[in-house]
Amino acid sequence: MDFSRPKIIVSKCLEFDACRYDGQIINNKYIKKLKKYIDFKPICPEVEIGMGTPRDTIRIIENKEERLLFQPETGKDFSKKMNAFSVKYLKNIIDIDGFIVKADSPSCGLKSAKIYPKKNNCPAKKRDNGFFTGHILSMFPNYPIEEEKRLNNVFIREHFYTSIFTIADFRTVDNIDSLYKYHAKHKYLFMAYNQTLMRKMGNVAANKNQKNIDCIKKDYYDLLLLLLSKRARYPSNINTQMHVMGYFKKLLTSKEKKHFLDTIELYRNKKTPVSTVNSILVSWINRFDNNYLKNQSFFHPFPIDLLNNEESRFL
Ligand code: SF4
């Protein structure tokens, strides 16, 4: 199966450059592996605003009136520079499928940057978004975004990979015919994510109001981002999997069915990812040569090489 290459903005210190405040680079095995399949666009907002490497640390200070990006060593405030850079940089971004940002950073953190109540030494009062990431969230609502640390969680990782490859695949849509094909190919995936939005997307594609293709694409794309903005819930994934199992019910032995139902229970109890259940379904789709199901992205939403050995053991 061919996959469109997602275009992803990534914090540059993750696998791309030794640009952290201490002159270090952060190794991350998932990002390293993704390089083969993704066009990364690395960016270090702190270097871009001229802070240099290595540099004194900065922190977010929040008081009643404002939020500052403050450097305690020098007493400098980088808020204005960082806000101006972020808006200018992100305004020029077109054609992007998602973001991977560095956890805990006052510039790049996603709900993980420490927020301090005062400029002088004191404990952090809460965590929130870094300055740069705050602008990503307001300018690219509903786009896939993750921190590198959260990719360690297989459930979060599979959802993120599914989202970025499905969104990248939308680049193949350039007319109504290709939109129908796209919708049909992802039907079971969309069903597992959100049936209400799937139907709305189907109505947009049906184009009863005779809109032009650019308007249709925009309406459909907004719904697609919304649909993928939340992980598919366990019951709806299981409903979809049971629905697919129905195709093979009469062709399977009782042992095979039991093994499948046992694996579903493991998934329901969060002991195994969705890909483990789907691997069993894929083996039946291939065995019974079901061409309709073979083309459904639900069973291979991203390149199989990106699954860990543990998750691909049934293939
Ligand atoms: S976290 Fe962001 S600002 Fe800090 S070094 Fe990495 S890319 Fe640069």
- The tens digit of pLDDT for each residue in 155-164 reads 899 999 999 9
- How far apart, in whole angstroms, are the C-alpha atoms of residue 202 and residue 182? 11
Strands 67-71 and 76-77: antiparallel
Structure tokens at 226: 């919304």
pLDDT higher than 50, residue 313 = no
Ligand 1 contact, 55 CB (< 6 A): no
Residue 244 has pLDDT above 70, yes or no: yes
Q: Is the CB of 20 under 6 A from ligand 1?
A: yes
- Closest approach atom of ligand 1 to CA 11: 7
The predicted pLDDT at position 309 comes to: 53
Q: Which residue has the higher pLDDT, 154 or 15?
A: 15
Q: Give the pLDDT mean for 113-127.
A: 94
- How many percent of the chain have pLDDT more than 90? 90
310 pLDDT tier (thresholds 50, 70, 90) = low
pLDDT at 261 over 90: yes
Does the pLDDT of residue 290 top 80, yes or no? yes
Protein residue with least CA distance to atom 4, ligand 1: 20
Which residues are 146's β-sheet partners? 100
Residue of the nearest CA to atom 8 in ligand 1? 44
| pLDDT of res. 312 | 44
293, 156 Cβ separation under 8 angstroms: no
Is the CB of 58 inside a 6 Å radius of any atom of ligand 1? no
Q: Is the CB of 166 under 6 A from ligand 1?
A: no
Query: What is the reported pTM?
Result: 0.93
The whole-number pLDDT of residue 305 equals 93
